[in-house]
A and B are shown apart, each in its own frame.
Chain A
Amino acid sequence: MAAGMKSFSNKYIFFYITVLVVAVVALLTVVTLGLKPRQTANRTADKAMQILHAAGYQDVTSDKAVALFSRVAEKKTGEREVYGIRCADGSPGVVMRVDGKGLWGAIWGYVVLDGERSPVKGVVFSHRSGTPGLGANIAEENFTSRFVGKKLYDANGNFTSVRVLQKGKSPDVALDNRVDAISGATLTSKGVDKMLQQLNNEGK
């Protein structure tokens, strides 16, 4: 600080900080606006990739995701996000978006069905807080793979959803209609359970 010990008038200080703030905001605005298109494209590609993964397209890279997505999927009309999609194995499927709340903030996912009342083809889950929060690994394959082949309807054709339950609890729910919760993430698992109930109105 030895060199900087000159005294500065209040006027100078005020002027200095004003100039600095204006310069900073101007610079940031230019940078953000300049990079925005790329960022938006990234987000679109990310979403397309999530859905494609659920539909069984395993090795999609983000640069090809959007093109592939527009080829195989088509948004259905309606308020909710529902897409018709041609799955990786060629069969026609339906993708439905579900939204819910984990312990920390929003969680969402896409559920792919082969068709009306058929078993689950695949799911992806995602959560907003990308922080390494403990026990929030619903996005990991080891959890999502548990849903494959499960059914949203019981043997009598009534909607049951796929329940996310702790191992051994509520034994009256048939194995086809349940998956094991993540141990140590009870609340998040409950959030997923609740989120999937939304499918009641949409699976038809």
Chain B
Amino acid sequence: MNGLTDIFVRSVFIDNMIFAYFLGMCSYLAVSKNVKTAFGLGIAVTFVLAVTVPVNYLIDKYLLREGALTWINPDFANVDLSFLSLIVFIAVIAGIVQLLEMVIEKFTPVLYQALGIFLPLIAVNCAILGCSLFMQEKNFPTVAHSFSYALGSGVGWLLAIVAFAAIRERLKYSDIPKGLQGNGIAYIITGLLGIGFMAFLGI
């Protein structure tokens, strides 16, 4: 079990989606004007990651990877469909997001009100596709590992956007040089936060 916690902690703090890989920056910069919406988007991203990454893991393991099709017929051992993985992953993500939207709307209207507006944004969030691609590259042994990784990445992303939104709320009251206002300072703050997160490197 230790491996699972390792992966979780590592993906939250050290290989943070935003601070180490800059994934999902577009929505990170756009939806961080206040803490509440930032939190909502963060939860939505975590949720979608936790669903899509394990699904993509199974698809990769049993359909796409070289030799993955042997469970149908041993003759397929040399079939390598991994060149299709990009298309399949993005299709799976778009499909699942759509599905989630419908399911949530039907069964939990409260949650839908909170997350609904974010879900369409998410299909094209680089963090989601990125997480699936990293998962494929990291070659996890079981689906539980991929889930732990997805959850960790999601929580890391959430943490980053909430921290950033909190700083941005305060920023309104600071005296920033004119040319730097807006996006300029946003990038620099993210960079500084990233340097702060590097302190976790030692764990």
Q: A105-B138, A105-B139 are in contact. Are A134 and B198 (CB under 8 A)?
A: yes
Q: A105-B138, A187-B6 are in contact. Are A134 and B202 (CB under 8 A)?
A: no
* Inter-chain pairs besides A104-B10, A104-B15, A134-B201, 9 sampled, C-beta below 8 Å: A103-B6, A103-B10, A129-B137, A133-B20, A134-B198, A135-B201, A184-B201, A186-B202, A187-B6
> What are 19 sample pairs from A and B whose C-beta atoms fall under 8 A apart?
A24-B87, A103-B10, A104-B10, A105-B137, A105-B138, A105-B139, A128-B138, A128-B139, A129-B138, A130-B137, A131-B137, A132-B20, A133-B20, A134-B14, A134-B198, A134-B201, A135-B201, A184-B201, A186-B202
* Distance, CA A135 to CA B15, complexed state (A): 10
- Please tell me if B71 contacts chain A, counting CB pairs below 8 Å: no
Cβ contacts under 8 Å, B21 to chain A: 131
Q: Which residue of B lies closest to A32 (CB)?
A: B83
Cβ contacts under 8 Å, A129 to chain B: 134, 137-138
- Please tell me if A25 contacts chain B, counting CB pairs below 8 Å: yes
- Please tell me if B110 contacts chain A, counting CB pairs below 8 Å: no
- Please tell me if A106 contacts chain B, counting CB pairs below 8 Å: yes
Q: Find residues 121-135 in chain B having any chain A CB closer than 8 Å to their own CB.
A: 134
Q: Kindly name the residue among A104, A129, A132, A133 whose own CB sees the greatest number of chain B CB atoms within 10 A.
A: A104
Interface size on A, as a range, is 20 to 34
- Please tell me if B84 contacts chain A, counting CB pairs below 8 Å: yes
Q: A28-B83, A32-B83 are in contact. Are A104 and B138 (CB under 8 A)?
A: yes
A17 to B: closest C-beta gap in Å? 11
Q: Kindly name the residue among A25, A105, A131, A135 whose own CB sees the greatest number of chain B CB atoms within 10 A.
A: A131
Interface mask (A104-116 → B, CB under 8 Å = 1, otherwise 0): 1110000000000
Q: Which residue of B lies closest to A185 (CB)?
A: B201
* Distance, CA A56 to CA B134, complexed state (A): 33
Q: Which residue of A lies closest to B141 (CB)?
A: A101
- Is A134 touching B15 in the complex (CB atoms < 8 A)? yes
Q: A184-B201, A184-B202 are in contact. Are A25 and B134 (CB under 8 A)?
A: no
* Distance, CA A184 to CA B203, complexed state (A): 8
Q: A25-B84, A133-B15, A184-B201 are in contact. Are A128 and B137 (CB under 8 A)?
A: yes
Q: Find residues 129-170 in chain A having any chain B CB closer than 8 Å to their own CB.
A: 129-135
Cβ contacts under 8 Å, A128 to chain B: 137-139
Cβ contacts under 8 Å, A32 to chain B: 83
Please pick, from B20, B84, B87, the residue contacting A134 in the complex, using a CB distance under 8 A.
Answer: B20
A21 to B: closest C-beta gap in Å? 9
* Distance, CA A55 to CA B198, complexed state (A): 36
A29 to B: closest C-beta gap in Å? 8
Which 7 A-B pairs give the minimum distances between C-beta atoms?
A: A105-B138, A32-B83, A184-B201, A105-B139, A104-B138, A129-B137, A184-B202
